[in-house]
């Protein structure tokens, strides 16, 4: 459908790329630009950039780039005209266009036609709710009984499907829509040469994509027919894939970004009631098991998710997989159970907004505390079998975390919480990680066709490999501190960056990129220039850029609940930088010494003469002594 050049130019003049992109992803300022996780790919390291000065975006992981219009086109899979119309609506610009005929409706490509068809159905259902006697007496009465206001009905576009076999079918055909398109939109069914509406005698909940387009419906039965399911949903279509969608995401996206947290519930009315109660940063998985794609959708706006439960212990245990999926995607997860078996819908109506928010904030527990309480059934002294099962369950969840430092922090705190020696948890964690590495290598071999038998020793990560992995994580931590705080003073004589460079001088680094970065830092220090992330980021540094971007934020956190329970001082790391830097250096040196000890032990096993044996034994004693000094100094740093 043609749009006037004047309208297109006004859209281009008014649109702000930060404003447009910010509706879909959570942007963070980096120097003069903004960055985020790519909305186009499943990545762990942010490689998506927006330049406000140039009004363009660039996604290094997918190769996509362009202005705000092309961003909307790429993300929503819509045409140029549809993107213009979306932006015009966003900025309140009147679109000058020709009236669309029935023939033009049918001529639209299938995707655009589906959007038009679904929007028509939504308007039809809304009109039924307010303008039809059946809709008012059944549908509107139901919503009023549930305590929903007119504002909530309007915000979520709730409606009613008449208890007729072909109410929507007739209305749509009268407007020129074809049965073929209605069927593709999932709005009608065909069987035994009969064609009839999918939704009949039910209240309707339109499901929107992030941009606000109706892509599907959920519908609740109002009668008590035991042969009919309480809820039915649209089938999968060209525009609706239920595993990729969250109910309420369009209405919640700004609130999620502003609050930097997303509350995750199960059903449609859970979302509408909590939204009406003032909790706008809430979405639902709509009765389906939480998927990786849904978590990735939330990650566009926040890294923090709180899962709300209302079931019994058995039901909660069955849903632990949802928490694990969140952890696998490197997001922070908390959970809570609502009181007295209430669900979010009923609880939101039973308390004030202040009480609701206070409960959600104060009762949310870190996933480890939450799992511990559920698995031990709240017992202070669980049986040995319960404790063993709990330890295995929690360590398996920690093993899902992609970030090594984050795993280390959780292992340390879990040991305190479970009253178990930390080394026991580390050993269990290493078993799981080694098994995962072996499975991944086997998968890779099948992909490449290399499925020959491999010696067992080669299939498992050796102790040397485990130490090497740990060393590289602390190398990253040293670089993270240098990039984020390098210009801050370490003491009265040198900066943090200078101290780090001095301490790392002569230490071989596993990651060549980190070695190169520290060489660059040394050059900046020699030229008396300040250290800025912009120096390491850009297309001219394709290997270093993703690493540095990944290090621009803290990669782990300690929950408020843990801080209060264990009386941990709630200070930001920037308030104790010298200790943080010394801790990172010492832990890196300890890993390097552990590596040397392992190498020396291997050499000792292969020694051919008594002189060699004595030499390696002397080296062993020397390295052990150095390791003891490091451990003693680490204890001083940690306690200070």
- Give the CATH number for residue 36: 3.90.580.10
What's the confidence (pLDDT) of residue 371? 87
- What per-residue confidence (pLDDT) applies to 57? 87
Mean model confidence pLDDT for the chain: 84
545 vs 526: CA distance, rounded Å: 23
Residues 405 and 483 in one domain: no
551 found inside a domain: yes
Q: Are residues 575 and 621 in the same domain?
A: yes
pLDDT of residue 191: 87
**Mean pLDDT within 366-391:** 83
Average pLDDT over every residue of 59-84:
84
Query: DSSP string covering 229-254, please?
Result: -SEEEPPP-SS--GGG--BTHHHHHH
pLDDT above 70 (res 346):
yes
Among candidate residues 229, 240, 224, the one with its CA nearest the CA of residue 187: 240
**308 plus 358 within the same structural domain:** yes
**In the predicted model, is pLDDT for residue 458 greater than 90?**
no
Can you list the pairs that 316-320 forms with residues at least 24 positions away whose Cβ atoms lie under 8 Å? 316/374, 317/374, 317/375, 319/289, 319/290, 320/371, 320/393, 320/397
pLDDT at 603 over 70: yes
Question: pLDDT band at residue 97, thresholds of 50, 70 and 90?
Answer: low
Specify burial of residue 503 (Cβ count, 10 A radius: 0-12, 13-18, 19+). Answer: middle
How wide is the angle at C-alpha 628 spanned by C-alphas 626 and 632, nearest 5°?
Answer: 120
Residue 417 falls inside a structural domain: yes
**DSSP one-letter code for 489:** B
10 Å Cβ neighbour count for 285? 22
What are the C-alpha distances in Å from 622 to residues 66, 471, 504, 596, 626? 59, 20, 21, 11, 6
Which of 1-10, 19-28, 75-84, 281-290 has the lowest average pLDDT? 1-10
Average pLDDT for 500-504: 93
Q: Is the pLDDT of residue 226 over 60?
A: yes
* Residue 93: partners with Cβ closer than 8 Å, 6 or more residues away: 7, 10, 11, 14, 87
> What's the CATH code of the domain at 135?
3.90.980.10
| Listed range (12-26, 104-118, 199-213, 370-384) with the worst mean pLDDT | 104-118
Query: According to the model, what pLDDT value does residue 457 have?
Result: 37
Q: What does the alpha-carbon distance between residue 522 and residue 501 come to, in Å, rounded to a whole number?
A: 7
Range of 305's domain? 249-363
State what percent of residues in the chain have pLDDT above 90.
39
Q: What is the distance between the alpha carbons of residues 266 and 246, in angstroms, rounded to a whole number?
A: 10
pLDDT in tens, 291-344: 999 998 998 888 899 999 886 656 677 778 899 999 999 899 999 989 877 899
Residue 579 resides in a domain: yes
Q: Is 86 found in the same domain as 110?
A: no
**In angstroms, rounded to a whole number, what is the distance separating the alpha carbons of residues 27 and 33?**
10
Going by pLDDT thresholds of 50, 70 and 90, the confidence category of residue 638 is: very low
Residues 364-390, mean pLDDT to the nearest whole number:
84
Residue 151: other Cβ atoms inside 10 A: 10
State the DSSP string of 98-165: PPPPHHHHHHS-HHHHHHHHHHHHHHHHHHHHHHSHHIIIIIIHHHHHTT--HHHHHHHT-EEE-SSS
Q: What's the average model confidence in pLDDT over 73-91? A: 85
Could you read off the pLDDT of 110-147 as tens digits, one per residue?
788 899 999 999 999 999 999 999 999 999 999 999 99
Residues 206 and 123 reside in one and the same domain: yes
408 and 480 belong to one structural domain = no
> Mind listing the pLDDT tens digit for each residue in 518-573?
999 999 999 988 887 767 765 456 677 667 766 764 333 334 443 444 444 445 56
Say if residue 577 is in the same domain as residue 601. yes
Last residue within a domain, chosen from 206, 240, 274: 240
What's residue 333's pLDDT? 94
pLDDT classification of 574: cutoffs 50, 70, 90: low
Q: What is the CATH number of the domain that holds 337?
A: 3.40.1360.10
**pLDDT at residue 487 is higher than 80:** yes
Evaluated on CA atoms 328, 334, 338, 341, the torsion sign reads positive
Locus of tokens 């959007």: 115
Listed range (167-181, 385-399, 513-527, 624-638) with the worst mean pLDDT: 624-638
Of the listed ranges 99-108, 259-268, 426-435, the one predicted with least confidence: 99-108
pLDDT at 151 over 60: yes
End-to-end CA distance of the chain: 69
pLDDT interval class at 494 (50, 70, 90): very high
231-245, 349-363, 589-603: range with lowest mean pLDDT:
589-603
Residue 385: what pLDDT? 85
Count of domains observed in the chain: 5
Cα separation of 34 and 57, whole Å? 9
> Which pLDDT score, from 0 to 100, does residue 573 have?
64
Q: Tell me whether residue 301 is in a domain.
A: yes
Confidence at 193, pLDDT banded by 50, 70, 90: confident
DSSP at 3: B
Q: Note whether 491 and 604 are same-domain residues.
A: yes
> Which pLDDT score, from 0 to 100, does residue 277 have?
96
Q: So what's the pLDDT on residue 566? A: 43
> Could you tell me if 445 and 552 are in contact, meaning their C-beta atoms sit under 8 angstroms apart?
no
Residue 546 has a pLDDT of 67
**Contact yes or no for 506/534 (Cβ under 8 A):** no
Q: Per-residue confidence at 632, pLDDT binned at 50, 70, 90?
A: confident
Secondary element (H or E) of residue 336: strand 332-337
Residue that is last in its domain, among 223, 240, 257? 240
Residue 186 sits in the same domain as residue 110: yes
Looking at residues 385-398, what average pLDDT do you find?
A: 89
What pairing do the DSSP bridges indicate for beta strands 159-161 and 48-51? unpaired
Please tell me whether residues 529 and 619 are part of one structural domain. yes
Closest by CA to 503, choosing from 555, 491, 406, 632, is 491
Nearest in space to 234 (alpha carbons), one of 308, 175, 288: 288
Query: 484 and 451 share a domain?
Result: no
pLDDT score at 107? 47
Decide if 375 is inside a domain: no
- Mean pLDDT calculated for residue range 183-204: 94
Which DSSP string do the residues of 263-301 spell out, in sequence order?
EEESSHHHHHHHHHTT--SEEE-TTSPP-HHHHHHHHTT
pLDDT tens, position by position, 436-455: 877 777 666 555 554 444 44
Picking from 47, 66, 90, the residue at the C-terminal end of a domain is 90
User: Is the residue at 368 inside a domain?
Assistant: no
Cα–Cα distance for residue pair 132/139, rounded to 1 Å: 10
Is the predicted pLDDT of residue 200 greater than 90, yes or no?
yes
In whole angstroms, what is the distance from residue 153 CA to residue 275 CA? 11
Give the span between the Cα atoms of 222 and 139, in whole angstroms: 8
Question: Cα 592 to the chain's mean position, in Å?
Answer: 33
Q: Supply 133's token pair.
A: 């006697």
Say whether both 472 and 616 belong to one domain: yes
291 in any annotated domain? yes
Query: Cα–Cα distance between 449 and 80 in angstroms, integer?
Result: 43
Separation CA 585–CA 8 (nearest Å): 56
In whole angstroms, what is the distance from residue 362 CA to residue 393 CA?
25
Residue with tokens 């220090």: 525
Whether 378 maps to a domain, the answer reads: no
Residue 136 and residue 252 in contact, taking contact as beta carbons nearer than 8 Å: no
């Amino acid at each position: 459908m043609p749009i006037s050049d004047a309208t297109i130019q006004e859209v281009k003049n008014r649109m702000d790329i930060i404003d447009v992109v910010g509706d879909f992803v959570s942007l963070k300022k980096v120097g003069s630009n903004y960055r985020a996780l790519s909305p186009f790919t499943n990545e762990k390291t942010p490689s998506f950039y927006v330049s406000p000065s140039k009004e363009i975006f660039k996604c290094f992981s997918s190769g996509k780039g362009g202005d705000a219009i092309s961003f909307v086109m790429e993300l929503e899979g819509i045409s140029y005209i549809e993107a213009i119309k979306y932006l015009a609506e966003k900025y309140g610009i009147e679109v000058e266009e020709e009236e669309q005929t029935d023939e033009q409706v049918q001529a639209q490509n299938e995707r655009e036609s589906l959007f038009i068809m679904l929007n028509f159905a939504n308007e039809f259902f809304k009109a039924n709710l307010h303008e039809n006697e059946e809709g008012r007496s059944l549908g509107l009465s139901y919503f009023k009984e549930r305590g929903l206001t007119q504002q909530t009905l309007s915000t979520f576009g709730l409606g009613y499907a008449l208890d007729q076999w072909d109410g929507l079918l007739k209305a749509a055909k009268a407007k020129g829509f074809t049965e073929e398109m209605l069927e593709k939109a999932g709005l009608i069914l065909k069987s035994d040469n009969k064609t009839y509406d999918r939704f009949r005698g039910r209240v309707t909940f339109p499901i929107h994509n992030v941009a606000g387009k109706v892509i599907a419906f959920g519908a609740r039965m109002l009668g008590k027919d035991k042969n009919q399911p309480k809820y039915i949903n649209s089938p999968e279509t060209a525009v609706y894939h239920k595993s990729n969608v969250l109910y309420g995401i369009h209405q919640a996206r700004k609130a999620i970004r502003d609050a930097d947290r997303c509350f995750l519930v199960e059903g449609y009315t859970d979302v509408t009631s909590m939204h009406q109660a003032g909790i706008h940063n809430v979405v639902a998985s709509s009765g389906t098991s939480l998927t990786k794609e849904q978590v990735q959708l939330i990650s566009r706006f926040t890294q923090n998710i709180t899962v709300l439960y209302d079931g019994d212990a058995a039901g909660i245990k069955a849903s632990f997989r949802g928490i694990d999926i969140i952890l696998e995607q490197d997001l922070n997860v908390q959970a809570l159970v609502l009181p007295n078996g209430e669900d979010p819908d009923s609880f939101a109506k039973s308390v004030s907004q202040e009480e609701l928010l206070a409960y959600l904030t104060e009762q949310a527990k870190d996933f480890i505390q939450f799992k511990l309480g559920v698995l031990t059934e709240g017992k202070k002294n669980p049986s040995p079998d319960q404790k063993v099962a709990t330890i295995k369950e929690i360590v398996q969840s920690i093993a899902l975390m992609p970030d090594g430092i984050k795993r280390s922090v959780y292992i340390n705190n879990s040991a305190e919480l479970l009253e178990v020696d930390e080394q026991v948890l580390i050993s269990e964690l290493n078993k799981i990680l080694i098994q995962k590495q072996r499975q991944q290598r086997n998968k890779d071999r099948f992909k490449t066709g290399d499925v020959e038998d491999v010696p067992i020793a080669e299939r498992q990560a050796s102790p040397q490999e485990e130490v090497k992995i740990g060393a590289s994580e602390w190398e990253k931590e040293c670089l993270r501190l240098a990039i984020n705080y390098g210009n801050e003073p370490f003491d009265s004589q040198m900066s943090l960056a200078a101290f780090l460079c001095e301490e790392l001088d002569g230490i071989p680094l596993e990651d060549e990129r980190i070695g190169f970065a520290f060489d660059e830092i040394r050059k900046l220090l020699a030229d008396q220039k300040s250290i800025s992330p912009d120096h390491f980021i850009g297309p001219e540094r394709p290997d270093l850029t993703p690493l540095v971007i990944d290090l621009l934020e803290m990669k782990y956190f300690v929950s408020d609940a843990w801080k209060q329970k264990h009386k941990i001082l709630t200070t930001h790391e920037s308030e104790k930088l010298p200790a943080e830097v010394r801790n990172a250096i010492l832990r890196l040196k300890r890993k390097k010494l552990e590596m040397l000890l392992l190498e020396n032990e291997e050499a000792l096993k292969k020694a051919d003469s008594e002189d060699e044996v004595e030499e390696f034994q002397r080296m062993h004693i020397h390295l052990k002594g150095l390791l003891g000094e490091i451990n003693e100094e680490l204890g001083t740093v940690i306690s200070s």
